[in-house]
């Protein structure tokens, strides 16, 4: 019996999610994984699930990668409602046709890692307790 071993290079598949206006972006990772956001665009990028007919203004978008990195990156799960009424999404959004609905196009994945938590202290007099809070959070995460 003759057995030939064939080596096939690993294929990496990137799935870019489209979330239409009025939809929700949701990403959930398994235990031991966190969200990694590669890129995010909000606008009218191309024909697809959200845009089925070309009424013009294709290719018009705003880069919203930083918004999604700040809200989702390093977390185990993330959920965000997508609407053209969201001030954070539309701030600086180019005129892509007011009557045309934009959508979100996001490239995100899960990668091995621990969720990142941030503690913001609103009052200076709490500063004395910062060390105790950090120790408590560290114990909870480990």
| Structure confidence at residue 138 (pLDDT) | 46
* CATH number of this structure's domain 16-116: 2.60.120.740
Q: Which pLDDT score is estimated for 106?
A: 94
**Residue 43, Ramachandran bin (φ over 0: left; ψ between -120 and 50: alpha; else beta):** left
User: Alpha helix (H) ranges present in the chain?
Assistant: 65-72, 87-90, 130-141
- For the chain, what are the domain ranges? 16-116
Q: Within 10 A of 41 (CB to CB), how many other CB atoms are there?
A: 18
Q: Give alpha helix (H) positions in 2-129.
A: 65-72, 87-90
Per-residue pLDDT of the chain (142 residues; tens, 9 = 90+): 444 444 444 444 456 889 999 999 999 999 989 999 999 999 988 888 888 888 877 888 999 999 999 999 999 999 999 988 888 887 877 777 766 788 999 999 998 877 665 444 444 444 444 444 444 444 444 4
């Amino acid at each position: 019996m003759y057995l030939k071993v064939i080596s096939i290079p690993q294929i990496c598949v990137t799935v870019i999610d489209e979330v239409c206006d009025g939809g929700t972006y949701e990403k959930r990772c398994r235990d031991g994984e966190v969200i990694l956001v590669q890129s995010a665009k909000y606008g009218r990028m191309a024909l697809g699930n959200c845009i089925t007919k070309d009424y013009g203004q294709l290719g018009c978008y705003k880069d919203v990668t930083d918004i999604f990195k700040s809200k989702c990156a390093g977390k185990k799960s993330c959920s965000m409602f997508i609407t053209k009424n969201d001030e954070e999404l539309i701030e600086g959004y180019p005129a892509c046709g007011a009557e045309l609905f934009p959508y979100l196009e996001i490239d995100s994945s899960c990668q091995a890692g621990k969720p990142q938590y941030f503690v913001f202290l609103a009052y200076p007099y709490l500063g004395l307790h910062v060390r105790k809070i950090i120790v408590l959070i560290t114990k909870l995460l480990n």
